[in-house]
Amino acid sequence: MVDMHGNSPKTLRQELLKQRNEFAAGSSYPHAKESLILAIGEFLSNEGKLLRSIALYWPIQDELDIRAPLLIWASSDEGRRLALPHARPDKHLDFYEWRDGDSLIPSKHGVPEPSPSNEDRPILNPDCIFIPCVGWSSSIANGKTHYWRLGYGGGYFDRTLSALRKKNPKLICIGIGFDWQKLDDAQWSAQTHDEPLDMLLTEFGLLR
């Protein structure tokens, strides 16, 4: 548990990113990383059979690299597609098809992105999106548990999810995080503009 009660979201993010950096360099990280990658593989083996396109992320700042299990998922059926986000000036994301080995361009935030001018890689509306968490929380409403993501503060994913869910109500959005990143209500609680996650994957498995 992160001891950051009563601080601003900006300060909380900075502390969480610092702790993530320390965690990634620590002795417990390899086992936690392996467990989370296995949990992703298990999800893809079971529920991934029904999916045709999955959006992932290019890892930065000690985010978990999830490319390997997703490339295995995509290569096992030629109808399956992977996509990476491209940040638009209006702070929405478009997802373009991505294949291993594609050249990427850095965004203004330094994140490697697909080029919108590559005519061989069309925009995809994914069936499923994997999204990394800086922190995460859960809440219960009407007897149902909801999971929430604390991100970097730009609002890109919340705007994008809101728009994509109107087009595709069956869209699955899965947060990727470690158990230690869980926040309680005193540290952070979701705001009205925050979009809920459909599921959360940690080193202890799938939460839904």
Contact between 162 and 186 under an 8 Å Cβ cutoff? The reply is no
Pairing of strands 81-87, 93-98: antiparallel
**For residues 63 and 17, what is the distance between their CA atoms, to the nearest angstrom?**
10
String of DSSP letters for 70-125: HHHHHHT-TT-EEEEEEE-TTS-EEEEEE-TT---EE-TTS-EE--TT-TTS-B--
| β-sheet bridge partners, residue 131 | 175
Query: CB burial class (10 A; 0-12, 13-18, 19+) of residue 196?
Result: middle
Closest CA to 135 of 7, 39, 14: 14
Structure tokens at 32: 């936690």
Q: Any known ligand binding at 63? A: yes
Detail the residues annotated as belonging to a binding site: 63
Detail the residues annotated as belonging to a binding site for substrate: 63
